[in-house]
Amino acid sequence: MTVLAPDRHDPPSARRAAPDDRGGPERGRRAQAASAYGALAVVLAWNLWRWRAQLTAVPYLDDSSVHAQMVRFATARFDAGHSPLTGWFPFLGLGSPQFLHYQSLGAMVSGALGTLTGADAAFRWTLYLLLALWPLPIYAAARLFGSGRGAAALAAAASPLLMSAVGVGFEPKAYVWFGYGVWAQLWASWALPLAWACTWRAMSSRRAVAPAAALVALTACLHFETGYLAFVPVVLFPFLAPGGRADARRRAGRALAVGAGGVLLSSWATVPLIVQGRWAATNEILAGGPLVNGYGAKQVLSWLFTGHLFDAGRLPVVTVLGGAGVVASVLGWRRAPRGRALLALLVMSLVLSFGRTTFGPLTDVLPGSGDIFMRRFMMGAQLAGILLAGEGGAALWRLGRVLAGRWTARAGRRAPTARALAAAALAGALAVVFLAPAWTQIDRFAGFNARAIAAQHAADAGPARQLDTLLGYVRLHGGGRVYAGMPSNWGSGFRVGRVPVFKYLEAQDIDEVGYTLRTASLMTDPEFFFDEDDPGDYALFAVRYMILPVAMAPPVPATAVAAAGPYRLWALPGRGYVRVVTTVGVLNANRSTVGVMSEPYLHSGLPGAGRYLAVAYAGAPPAPLTATTLSQAEAVAGRVRGEHDDLADGTVTATVTASRRAVAVLSASFDPGWTVQVDGRPARTEMLAPALVGVALTPGAHTVVFRYGGFGLYPVLFAVVALTALALAWTGRRTGRARAPETAPS
């Protein structure tokens, strides 16, 4: 008995020996295609209906708030005729080159769409459609792997039913409003299955090398951790694809072409990340925990075998189908190579997800391992499991047909039409009963998510409008950032509906302090240690306003400005993003320690007194100090006479007076893309603690202009991408002329 249908790569003997659910008369093939497409249409319609609440315009409760803000920023940059890649993203972590540090392709595509539809509408529609239509790339990938229509339709039907213990894999909870908001991963979830499938096909055909390389690169540009999983089969598949030893060299050459092509095509996103990596902070707060290091082999395997990797909180529906697919793949190891490819992807994804918790320093061999959240690799195991679930469901169906045939044979007669129809109806009913726990669980979660969105929409018509009156004052008067609490203190319970006020500020594109650990700016870790009881920290972080609960007294001296509903706006002394300060000591730090090393300084009285520290960053010498004696340190360094701020455009201009040798410091995260002019002449930037931008001043009056210019090698990198694409296209076209085109699986 054959439990796994052979694919197009199988040897002729295997194809003759095994029944093929895609074979038979043309009429039967049309009926199978109609059934598969009908099932796929039902799944898509169900998804589109159940997740329609995602189209409601509300501020976001999860990380979607950051992604939506990136889309708005990209749209604004495009409207102004500029690239988001070289822009200064000013709203979080005292600003950063967010489109360089983070996977930004999805945000730029949506931002371009936003120039036509509006940025927020573009974000909502891309989230909704990418989520609801995800079964499409699953079906296409299964077919490209060589699976039959039935197996591909079953995999597509299983794909919206995932629910894991951690909730950040390829499952609805990872993306929806009452979830985690990993929107960049959602984009990559479309590219990864196709990248895997095309890489598999590339092992047997040079014509598939170009699309495989393009999809691998696309996955990496959309989401870096998913991109790791896209490169995995480039290493594995040459050893698993059919063809024997005689074809091993050709398979290795194709794998090299796919890998090299993927690296070069994604270079516009990865090379700046590598070159500028020393200026991107690691997450010091989470660095020692399982979110970064992975949960380890024991925990991940426990989730796998107890069903919590695919079916948390319900009967293990997808787990059972995936297990059947594993058994079928093992039994068909020689006859059906795609089965062993899917098994290898499952195992390798699981091993990667074990992370540093299991492998310790061995994980350092992975490029960029210090910036990877290794638990996220469980999404690769989920994707492989979905494809295996399709194979397992098809194998169980064929097994049922064989058993039914034997049953009717014992009856001594051919199965009449009525009995065949009854058997089909019974199988369908059993499938519905079997899948019902997953359907109902996802349906309940979707309903809860929709009700939560509706409640937030109602809050936006009441409390949000009250808060908007205070934000109107902030926009009109400017002069610094806004503080409305933090996730680690009372701020998490200070809300507009369900959304904390500090997240609502982000939805309004307000430059703020308090929504911590959202970017890779060098100030993101020091911001976590912001002390709301220390007036000096407000000056250092350029906080001009506080929004507090109406009954809460300000933690530092401030003037009440206005109140609306449960919210009160306070203004602090001073204004602006630039200060004239004295440097009195040195802080030694690097990208992995700048937060913890600066904590004692932030809790001292030095920032409030205008006494800053020069930074010896990553072993480089610090800038010369402007005060070497106590009397120099205690003397007033100077003052700011006027300031014009446009951080969204990456420029700040200040007129200052220095009483003696001093430093003009801009309260923005340090990055080598910052340049500065003093009195029209270029000057050298320096880093001040914790990680701010400064420039040395001589005594007297000066005009200081800080300007962010961004990474300058993008034109060269895009030229490399274009040349690589042309080379791959030329190679594929030449191969196509030399060889007859291969047909896709029927």
On whether residue 509 sits in a domain, the answer given is yes
The 3-class secondary structure across 387-432, one letter per residue, is HHHHHHHHHHHHHHHHHHHHHHHHCCCCCCHHHHHHHHHHHHHHHH
Same domain, 547 and 630: no
Mean pLDDT of 57-68: 96
Pairwise CA distance, residues 215 & 619, whole Å: 39
On whether residue 631 sits in a domain, the answer given is yes
Same domain, 487 and 553: yes
Contact 689, 613 (CB under 8 A): yes
Domain edge (last residue) among 529, 549, 571 = 571
pLDDT for 261-282, tens place per residue? 999 999 999 999 999 999 999 9
What lies within 8 Å, CB to CB, of 742 at 6+ separation is 205, 207
Q: Which of 185-189, 293-297, 727-731 has the lowest mean pLDDT?
A: 727-731
Same domain, 544 and 633: no
Q: Is the pLDDT of residue 21 over 50?
A: no
Same domain, 689 and 615: yes
Q: Is the pLDDT of residue 185 over 50?
A: yes
Confidence of residue 407 (pLDDT cuts 50, 70, 90): low
Percent of the chain residues topping a pLDDT of 70: 91
| pLDDT for position 148 | 94
Range of the domain at 539: 463-571
351 three-class SS: helix
Same domain, 597 and 692: yes
Q: Is the pLDDT of residue 519 over 80?
A: yes
Contact 189, 169 (CB under 8 A): no
- Which two structure tokens, joined as six digits, stand for 312? 């948390």
Q: Which of 26-40, 444-458, 673-687 has the lowest mean pLDDT?
A: 26-40
pLDDT for 691-716, tens place per residue? 999 999 999 999 999 999 999 999 99
On whether residue 341 sits in a domain, the answer given is no
As for how many domains the chain has, the answer is 2
Mean pLDDT of 203-207: 86
- Report which secondary-structure segment, H or E, holds 332: none
The alpha carbon dihedral of 332, 335, 336, 342 has a sign of positive
Contact 654, 660 (CB under 8 A): no
Mean pLDDT of 557-576: 96
Pairwise CA distance, residues 39 & 128, whole Å: 21
| pLDDT for position 137 | 98
- Which two structure tokens, joined as six digits, stand for 87? 């822009």
Same domain, 468 and 564: yes
- Pairing outcome for strands 638-646 and 651-658: antiparallel
Domain edge (last residue) among 571, 593, 623 = 571
On whether residue 642 sits in a domain, the answer given is yes
pLDDT for 74-112, tens place per residue? 999 999 999 999 999 999 999 999 999 999 999 999 999
| pLDDT for position 41 | 96
Domain edge (last residue) among 537, 553, 571 = 571
Maximum Cα–Cα distance across the chain? 109
Pairwise CA distance, residues 606 & 533, whole Å: 14
- Which two structure tokens, joined as six digits, stand for 263? 């690296």
Mean pLDDT of 220-238: 96
Same domain, 599 and 644: yes
In DSSP terms, 675 is beta-bridged to: 707
Helices and strands, counts by H and E, the chain: 26, 17
| pLDDT for position 399 | 85
Same domain, 558 and 585: no
Pairwise CA distance, residues 390 & 384, whole Å: 10
More reliable by pLDDT, 493 or 399: 493
Mean pLDDT of 602-622: 96
Same domain, 586 and 704: yes
Q: How many residues does the chain have?
A: 746
On whether residue 659 sits in a domain, the answer given is yes
Same domain, 679 and 617: yes
Same domain, 697 and 597: yes
Q: Is the pLDDT of residue 737 over 80?
A: no
Same domain, 537 and 467: yes
